[in-house]
Every structure is written in structure tokens, then in C-alpha cells.
Structure 1
Amino acid sequence: MAKLVQRPMREIAPLVRRPIETMPDQLYPEVGIRSFGRGVFHKKPKTGSELGEKRLFEWKEGDLLFNIVFAWEGAVAVATQAEDGKVGSHRFLTCVVDPKSADARYLFWWFTHDKGRDQLLRASPGGAGRNRTLGVEKLATIEVPLPPLHEQRRIVRRLDRVAALVDERRSAIEAAERETQALLLKAFQRAIDGAPLRPLAEVAPLVRRPVEIDLDAAYPELGVRSFGRGTFHKPDLLGAELSWQKLFLVQQGDLVFSNIKAWEGAFAVAGPGDHGRVGSHRYLTCVPTEGLATADFIWFYLQTHEGLGKVQAASPGSADRNRTLGQGALEAITVPAPPISHQHWFDRLQAKAREARAIRASTAQDVKALIPAMLHEIFDGGAKAA
């Protein structure tokens, strides 16, 4: 990179506020900023009366924008034509870049790089993440390394070009995932066509395997993520540290339910790596009856809108955290029970879909890592941007 000159933000992109006076019956299109340099999002417009005493400020195309609460984690953006004339609350700072000194997109990329985010973190005092607030004066004193303007623009062209390709690839991956899910749903409907509904008590009854606690032993604990995202492994529990807790053994092929989060899809099929782990009394394990059901088939149904609705109905409570799936209510849930050959056919389709998802997930990780790698190359003294 060409020779750099350190310039404070107050010189190259001073704060500009454009307060607006709200009218009760007029609509105001608010805009927000995502963290980690992921751009802006548009909120549903509200009337002045709905906004109440909230202070609003107008945005203009080309503004360099900061969310003062999350600037430290890269909540930075540049307003495009789509944001011109839109509004943000007092929690958003608008800086107008001097076009003779700096390129707004260059500043954006620098502030989303580790070094820029570190400066924003230092300018955002507070004891915890949610309480870190970017100070106006501290922002003004941040010094940004500036190469000549033509070099800034060359860097911006390079990064923007790759960012567009990354977005395109990400969109393609998301579209492929939606298509895969739609095809699976169609195949599932074909598999259950005309099938009777039978309670889990028959096709996958509850099985509890209590563990006798040895004070000198360690017990590898299992957890289940919400929204159908599978299992995860927790740190080992030490027998000497357990007092009243009860532990239950999990085996491969079990349907494992979190009884407090099942209503939001916290249930999974235990895999080979989960075999022999333990769950607390808050985890319920069901074992499919051989010849009547498979765990993967039941899991898929319970993750559908219809199936999850039954799990939610079996999880009463006045608030989300208090919704508990009872053992009897779980076993009373009815699921489609087509011939086992139909279920095996569908499970093979699910296995192929999982393989495709794994490939897409690996690709997505590679894509996600591309921009940070380029930022490191450019701003950490790597090869000259071209």
C-alpha cells in the first residue's frame, strides 16, 4: 500500500446532524444498521404519534453511519440512494466525508477491519457489550490511515467487487437450501399419504436410563439447540459437584427433547458422537419402536409447522421460558406412521440432503472468510491492493 497519512475523523468526516421535527400524522421511514459490516436494514415506517418523543435525524446518500451502541462490533455503513431522505434515531451518527480527503467506502472498510473496530471499541466505554456507547468526541479523535485518494478508490473497487461476489454466492446458497427444504416437504407428503396417526407412546415411547453418580467420575453432558439445529456437547460434569441433579444416559438413535425449549424446536436425533453422553432431568429421550418408526422420520415431522404445533400444544405455560413439555403430553403427540419402507425411503433422501447441506455449509464458511482475509491483506501491510 502507498504511504499512509494519519488523519483524525473530525477533519476527514466530521459529524453532521440533521434533526427533523415530527408531525403526528406523517410517516417516517426509519433505517437501522447491522453489526459486522453487514449493511443497513429498513424498518416499517411509523407515524409521528407512534414515535412519541423519539428524536429523529435525516440521512443523506454518502453519509458514513455508526450505530453508537454496536459500533464496537462493526455496526458501520455507508448510506446509499435507498437511504437518502430516510431517518435514524439519536443512536445513529452521520458523518459527512470530505471528498478531497477520503472515500466513504474506504472508511467503511477500514472501520470493519480489526484495527478500525479496535479503535471504535476504545471509543466506546462501558462495562459490558450492550452498555458500550460510542462517544461523539472520541469518534472525532480516531485517526485513520489514509493512502492517496486514488489508492483508496482502488482498494474500494477491489473490496466492493469481491463483496458483491460474496453476496451473490451467499444468496445462491440460501436459495439452494430453500429449494432442498421444499423438495423434502413434497417427498414427505408423498411418504405419509394415507398413513394413520399414532401416538409416540406406541411408535417411540419414552425411555429413561438413570445414571448412578460416582463421586470420582466425570460425565460428558449433552445439549440440544433450538430450531432443529441438532445437539452440542457441554463440558463434563464432575460427580463430586453433583448434589441433587439427576442424570440420564443418551444413546445413538434416541430422539432427545429439551422439555423447556422443545416448543421452539429443541429436539434432535442423537448421533454416534452423542452415544454415552448424559442429559439432566430436563432432557427426555424417546426410542423408536423397531418396524414402526425411525427417529429421523419422526424428527422431520415434528419440525414441520403441523408437528411443531403439536409440540407447542403439549408445552403449556404463561411465558416462553416457563413452557414445559410434560412426559405424558409428549407420548400423547400423534405422528404419521406410514409403512417402514416409506420411512426408510424418505430417510435416505434426508441423508442426501444433509450431505448437500454440509457441502454448502463448508462453502459458506469459505465465502465468509474471504472478506476478512482481504481486509487483513490490505490493512495489515500485505501485498499492494490492485
Structure 2
Amino acid sequence: MTDWELTRLGDVTSQIQDVVKVTPGEEYPLLGVKWYAEGPFVREVVTSESSKASRFYRVSAEQFIYNRLFAWKGSFGLVGADMEGFYVSNEFPLFECDRSRLLPEFLSLHFQQRSVWGEVERLSTGTTASRNRWKESQFANYRLPIPPTPDQRRIVDVMGAVDAQIGALDAEKRRASSLLKLVRNAFPEGTECALSSVVSRIQGGKSVQTSDEKPQSGEPAVLKLNAIQLGTFLASEAKRLDDLTGYTEAHRVAEGDLLITRASGSFGRVGYAAIARNVAPETYLPDLIWRIQTNPKVCSATFLAHLLCSPSVRSMITASARGTASMRKINKALLGSLRLSIPSLQEQSTYVQNCDAVASAVDALDIELAGLHAFRSALLAALLNQELEIPESYDALLEEVS
């Protein structure tokens, strides 16, 4: 196994400050850097009229970038070729690597580790968490083990292959999700009627103060709001419920319940609906989630769940939402007044079968993606902790393949 040299970043990187004075009439696309090592993105486009800044810093492809304010959140990445010539403020320092000793892609992989973010948080300085900066001097003094560049290249290549697989799988999931929207929107024609005419009851849960601790097996729990995704129920998204005062059997979530979010801090998430699956025995409704009970002689719960998730009905639901920018809500009267096309039970069954088939494919891709992400994290840790070594024969193999 080759030796990895513990190296100070200031010895193998150089901070780059390509200063550009702000000129009236010019536009400046500014980059931000996403949390959790998801890299830079175009945050906004400003002019001298919309920004008080007198100067920005021009970026170049393959520069290492981070957000001083949110480095502890994993706000690291590399500037892509598509962002060449864009700009940043002084909160986003830029660095070039001495490629004879450190590849920028390898540096980026190091800062994709959650354990590293924890160390950065420990080293960051500031009076409060919101002002907790990791300064350039601290970046320069940070030390990491660096292998010879051929080893770096092998690690980068292997992780790139995994990322390519993740990207391909993610693209497949997006295609399947787009198909699901189309299938859900192709609902059969039927008798148009108010939702209230096919619903026997809309029941709410209870507001409760509780910790965010996950329940142990068999412990009572209350659903979190994000347990209800668009057509998907996440049974694991629940909080331990220490006090059952005021809860009754009527508040218990049962397998097959149709649930809908009545409020959300995100405008697009209001009115998300899903069928409860794999529900733990002692799971209860919170006040921000309703249970909708349909008249089974007229409308099945699974049909209504898919219908409520269709783009056409989603637009009706979000248009009916009321409230502030921080909390949008729907009420029972508005929800009940929605006019929907309700076909025969046989046509509902066919529609549900079509939707379920595509939804199952999306769920399977989700599971596969989650597994691949977990594998990536484990592989990256093993490679960077020198628990796993890529042999030199890998280079010969690549030459044969190419």
C-alpha cells in the first residue's frame, strides 16, 4: 500500500481572486454552493441596480469552491465548465490545485464526507451558528492525507463510474416519474361532481408537542408532515409520542387509509395525498394531516389518491390554498368543493392498475437509488481511509477498454 502524506492545503492550493468591478448595464450571474456537497449552482443574476456590491470575483472551470458561511453544512464543490466566467461574492472563496500533487476532483471527494463536515464545524468560528464561518486561513491550515497522483486518479475514476451509474438511474427515475404524471392525468371521464359527494368523512388529527426522536419498535408515534409525499407514504417519517392524552382509536392510522396534507410551508406540497402502507401499530394522525374516507359504492380510496396526485387536480388544490408565504393551507370546505370526474368503479379499477404499475416502477428505482447512494458513501469512506486499495492493474485494464 502506498504512503499517503498528511498535507496542509495551503501548500498544495492557491486562492484565486479574479476581481471584476461592477459596471452599470452589465449582468452578473452569481453562483451559490448547495449544501451536502451538491456543488455550485446559479443563484441569481444581478446588475449594479439590483446589487450594492462594487465588485465580484470571476470563476473558472475546475476551481474548488466553498461557502464560508455554510462549510459546516458541506457546502463544497467544483466549478463546472458550464459555469466558466460566472461570478461569486467574497463569501465563496475559489482555489486552484497544484495538479502535480493534488487533483481538484480528489479534493472535492474528500469534502464530500459527512465526517469532514463535522470537523469543519468544529473548526469554524463565529458568534452564532448563523454567522459560523470557515475562513480561508482555516482552509489553508487544514490537513488531509494525500496519496500519489496516480492513486488519486484511480479513486476519482472509480467514484466517477459510480456517479455515472447514479446519474443514469436518476434519469431513469425522472422518466418514470414523468410517465406516472401522464398516466395519472389520463383519468377516465365520468360524472363531474363535488368531492364532498363521494367522501363520507374528512378527519383531522391532533396537535402535539413532542421531540423529533424516532420511536422504537412498538412505541406510539405521530406522523411527520413529510410522511406524505406525492402519492407515496413514508412510514418511517414519524416521531415518538410520549403522551397519548386526547388521542383515541379514531386518530390511529390504519393500513389503506387515504391521507392528505392540509398545510405546508412549501406551496407545492399542500394537498399531497397517499395511501398508508406498512403502518406501525401505534401510529397516530397529527393535526396537519387529514384522513379522507370515501363512499366505497361510488369511489375507491386508491382511485381518489391517484386522482388527487394528477397534475390537473394538483393545480386545482394549490390554487385553492390560502395563508401566508410561510404556511399555505387548504380547508375542508374548499377541498370538498373541488369538482372531479368520477367514472364507474370498473373504470376506476383499470385506472388504478395502470397508475400502480408505473408507481411501483418508480418506487423500485427509488429503492435502488437509495442502495446505490449508500454503497457510494461506504466505498468513498473505504477508499479515503485506505481500507481499500485500487491495484495498479486497474490502469492496464482501462487502457485495454479504451
| 1:208, distance to aligned residue in structure 2 (A) | 4.2
Question: 1:24-46 CA deviation, whole Å, 9 max, x = no partner?
Answer: 21122322323333332234533
Distance 1:113 1:96, change over 3 A: same
Aligned to 2:156: 160
Aligned to 2:37: 37
Aligned to 1:215: none
Structure 2: unaligned runs, 5 residues or longer = 207-218, 392-402
Contact 1:224 1:230 in 2 (8 A): no
Which stretch has the larger CA shift, 308-317 or 85-94?
Answer: 308-317
> What code does the residue aligned with 1:230 have?
F
* CA distance, structure 1, for counterparts of residue 39 and residue 69 of structure 2: 15
Distance 1:127 1:236, change over 3 A: farther
* CA distance, structure 2, for counterparts of residue 71 and residue 9 of structure 1: 16
> What code does the residue aligned with 2:145 have?
P
* CA distance, structure 2, for counterparts of residue 144 and residue 272 of structure 1: 44
Aligned to 2:214: none
3-state secondary structure, aligned to 1:317:
strand
Residue of 155, 168, 174 corresponding to 2:170: 174
| 1:179, distance to aligned residue in structure 2 (A) | 3.4
Question: 1:83-129 CA deviation, whole Å, 9 max, x = no partner?
Answer: 33321111111123233432222222223235543442333234765
Distance 1:270 1:132, change over 3 A: same
Question: 1:38-85 CA deviation, whole Å, 9 max, x = no partner?
Answer: 332234533232222264112233422222122223322233443333
Residue of 255, 267, 273 corresponding to 1:267: 273
Distance 1:99 1:313, change over 3 A: closer
Aligned to 2:260: 257
Aligned to 1:13: 13
Structure 1: unaligned runs, 5 residues or longer = 212-217
3-state secondary structure, aligned to 1:335:
strand
Aligned to 2:313: 307
* CA distance, structure 2, for counterparts of residue 280 and residue 102 of structure 1: 51
Q: Does 1:373 align with 2:381?
A: no
Which stretch has the larger CA shift, 359-368 or 179-188?
Answer: 179-188
* CA distance, structure 1, for counterparts of residue 88 and residue 175 of structure 2: 36
* CA distance, structure 2, for counterparts of residue 102 and residue 210 of structure 1: 56
Distance 1:245 1:70, change over 3 A: farther
Aligned to 2:394: none
Contact 2:181 2:311 in 1 (8 A): no
Aligned to 1:283: 289
* CA distance, structure 2, for counterparts of residue 35 and residue 306 of structure 1: 33
Contact 1:71 1:117 in 2 (8 A): yes
* CA distance, structure 1, for counterparts of residue 191 and residue 38 of structure 2: 47
Counting only pairs closer than 5 Å after superposition, residues 47-62 of structure 1 correspond to structure 2 as 47-53=47-53, 55-62=55-62
* CA distance, structure 2, for counterparts of residue 378 and residue 256 of structure 1: 44
Contact 1:287 1:295 in 2 (8 A): yes
> What code does the residue aligned with 2:113 have?
H
* CA distance, structure 2, for counterparts of residue 244 and residue 277 of structure 1: 11
Which stretch has the larger CA shift, 366-375 or 270-279?
Answer: 270-279
* CA distance, structure 1, for counterparts of residue 300 and residue 162 of structure 2: 39
Contact 1:230 1:268 in 2 (8 A): yes
| 1:253, distance to aligned residue in structure 2 (A) | 3.0
| 1:365, distance to aligned residue in structure 2 (A) | 1.6
Contact 2:56 2:87 in 1 (8 A): yes
Which stretch has the larger CA shift, 296-305 or 107-116?
Answer: 107-116
Counting only pairs closer than 5 Å after superposition, residues 1-386 of structure 1 correspond to structure 2 as 1-53=1-53, 55-114=55-114, 116-126=116-126, 130-147=130-147, 151-156=148-153, 158-188=154-184, 190-193=186-189, 195-208=190-203, 220-225=221-226, 227-228=229-230, 229-231=232-234, 232-239=237-244, 242=245, 248-261=251-264, 264-273=270-279, 277-321=283-327, 323-386=328-391
Question: 1:241-288 CA deviation, whole Å, 9 max, x = no partner?
Answer: x47999734433332233223962333223351676332444332212
Aligned to 1:214: none
* CA distance, structure 2, for counterparts of residue 155 and residue 191 of structure 1: 53
**Superposition TM-score, scaled by structure 1 size:** 0.83
Distance 1:55 1:235, change over 3 A: farther
Distance 1:46 1:227, change over 3 A: farther
* CA distance, structure 2, for counterparts of residue 220 and residue 144 of structure 1: 43
Contact 1:113 1:376 in 2 (8 A): yes
Which stretch has the larger CA shift, 272-281 or 303-312?
Answer: 272-281
> What code does the residue aligned with 1:192 have?
P
3-state secondary structure, aligned to 1:48:
coil
* CA distance, structure 1, for counterparts of residue 377 and residue 276 of structure 2: 35
Distance 1:294 1:275, change over 3 A: farther
